[in-house]
Amino acid sequence: MYDLLITNARLRDGQLVDIGIQGERIAAVAPGLLGEGARTVDARGLLVSPPLIEPHCHLDAVLTEGDAGHNESGTLLEGIQRWSVRKQSLTHEDVKRRAVEGIKWYASQGALYIRSHVDVCDPSFTALKALLEVKEECRDLVDLQLVAFPQEGILSYPQGEELMEEALRLGVDVVGAIPHYEITREMGVESIHIAFRLAEKYDRPIDAHCDETDDDQSRFVEVMAAETLARGMQGRVTASHTTAMHSYSNAYAFKLFGWLKRAEMHIIANPPDNIILQGRFDSYPKRRGMTRVKELLEYGINVAVGHDSVMDPWYPLGTGNMLHAAFLALHIAQMSGYEEVPRVWDLVTENAARVMEVTEDYGIQPGKQADLVLFDAPTDRDALRTLATPLVCVKRGRVISETTAPRVRVFRGGQAEEIRYQQERIRGESG
């Protein structure tokens, strides 16, 4: 007798299984009936995936779009400037209300792990204190990690280093940085040294906004790789955005790849924001401004995709649907090859789990945390193509959301025909 039994679930490898859940853990995964569940969900041969993961967002800024005027230039710098105005009126309740709402949007669409940056260039730590509470209070919906993010610089903002260290004492999980925003190249390099010193002292991973610019001279990722190797932090360091890599010469990018791989660094691309923010100083042709996702993967470097923003001063759209971010990544990186499409699914699942260091708990196997999502599509490929409805989301063994798939009927010759946007042969395969 299981607390929750999912029957006829199609795993990503195509296997049809039943999944038995006891408490917060998966107890059994096997083809054919496992027995009884106190509650049963019939997956009807549809895809049951490990949850989507949002490895890079800003929950302190979520749902603030327009509050300090609209970002009309569409640039990163106007976003930072508008945020610096909006953050003066942050309150504990304001941050909590928006962040919890944002988490509900993410979680109900299948993102059950979230890593959020939180701006610590604020001596009162209003956002950080609120998000530390949200992390505990929303434990039923998501595993949430917080990154101490110095939005206005570690060295370019008064007391930036002290604020970073205080954030660590308050309990953030990850150390951030923003070297390309520091006033000088030298300050950028030094800000990375500070971030690594803090990470070592407090035994935390690093996730830095790094080289989020179209300036091909912005080369701070190489400094991160050098520090990672010097301090033996392989596997614990992530460079987010790295959009300048789009503009590097191939010769330099190739050299960099070698060091990223040796340093076992993770790269996070954020296609929704960066396809909006980058290329703004170009005429035509306009650069796409996303980091080299396809080539990094081909080289064997771990890459994940984040959504980054949901309605904030940098990006006015979004609902927290990680399939939107993955869909954009597929297009911008041109990962349309038959074998490439499922690798796009990895970008918002397995690869992001590695970034967040949650692989021990993550996956549909006995003993793992009982987190999973039933999509209204037979395969990951179809779920991406159709931006499939997340029918049922399960977190820590509990059904946390249900969404009804749209029902589409076409009327012809006095008849109603229901269509599902599926190719016949796939429909046939999935029964």
Tell whether residue 180 is a contact of ligand 17E (CB under 6 A).
no
Which two tokens mark 126?
A: 């209003």
* DSSP symbols for 180-211: GGSSSHHHHHHHHHHHHHHHHHHT--EEEEE-
Least distance to Fe ion, CB of residue 212, Å: 7
Tell whether residue 308 is a contact of Fe ion (CB under 5 A).
yes
Tell whether residue 209 is a contact of ligand 17E (CB under 6 A).
yes
What is the C-alpha to C-alpha distance for residues 5 and 25, in angstroms, rounded to an integer?
12
Beta-bridge partner residues of 92: none
Cβ closer to ligand 17E: 178 or 290? Answer: 178
Residues near ligand 17E (CB under 6 A), total: 11
Least distance to ligand 17E, CB of residue 145, Å: 17
Residue 278 backbone dihedrals phi, psi, to 5 degrees: -85, 165
Residues near Fe ion (CB under 5 A), total: 1
212 given a catalytic annotation: yes
What is the C-alpha to C-alpha distance for residues 38 and 184, in angstroms, rounded to an integer?
61
Which two tokens mark 302?
A: 């771990």
What is the C-alpha to C-alpha distance for residues 290 and 297, in angstroms, rounded to an integer?
14
Do 384 and 330 contact (CB within 8 A), yes or no?
yes
Name residue 408's amino acid. Answer: V
Q: What string marks each residue from 232 to 251 as x (binds ligand 17E by CB under 6 A) or -? A: --------------------
Tell whether residue 309 is a contact of ligand 17E (CB under 6 A).
yes
Tell whether residue 78 is a contact of ligand 17E (CB under 6 A).
no
- 3-class DSSP string for 334-395: CCCCCCHHHHHHHHCCHHHHHHCCCCCCCCCCCCCECCEEEECCCCHHHHHHHCCCEEEEEE
Cβ closer to ligand 17E: 19 or 311? Answer: 311
Least distance to Fe ion, CB of residue 21, Å: 34
Q: Which is catalytic among the residues 78, 212, 222, 227? A: 212
Tell whether residue 116 is a contact of ligand 17E (CB under 6 A).
no
Q: What string marks each residue from 143 to 172 as x (binds ligand 17E by CB under 6 A) or -? A: --------x---------------------
Catalytic positions: 212
Give the binding site for Fe ion (CB under 5 A).
308
Give the binding site for ligand 17E (CB under 6 A).
58, 76, 80, 151, 178, 209, 212, 273, 308-309, 314
